[in-house]
């Protein structure tokens, strides 16, 4: 497990796949949250050969989000504990 500082480069991952699954407004809102320093406690780890990124994202409350990439860096899974994520398909703005 490694805790990352803001702006620290992660390994190469296919964020384009995440973008393609996200509706434009949600992706732009998530990007704004990152640049507005709303993404905290970024932690990376490897689980069963897959690379997991977890973070706390500030919004109406603080949400716990995760993105999992497969062994080749492709998008594998994502999750958020916000209400929108559980109601809609695809990534929410916190991811």
pLDDT band at 9 (very low <50, low <70, confident <90, very high): low
**Three-state helix/strand/coil letters over 10-29:** CCCCCHHHHHHHCCHHHHHH
What's the pLDDT tens digit per position in 24-34? 788 888 888 88
According to the model, what pLDDT value does residue 1 have? Answer: 54
The average pLDDT across 1-15 equals: 57
Strand partners, 75: 69
What's the pLDDT tens digit per position in 56-84? 999 899 999 999 988 888 889 999 999 98
């Amino acid at each position: 497990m490694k805790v990352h500082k803001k702006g620290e480069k992660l390994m190469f991952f296919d964020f384009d796949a995440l973008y393609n699954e996200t509706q434009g407004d949600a992706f732009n809102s998530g990007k704004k949250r990152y640049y507005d320093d709303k993404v905290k406690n970024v932690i990376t780890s490897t689980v069963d050969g897959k690379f997991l990124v977890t973070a706390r994202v500030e919004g109406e409350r603080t949400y716990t989000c995760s993105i999992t990439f497969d062994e080749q860096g492709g998008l594998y899974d994502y999750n958020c504990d916000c209400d929108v994520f559980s109601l809609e398909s695809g990534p929410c703005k916190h991811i």
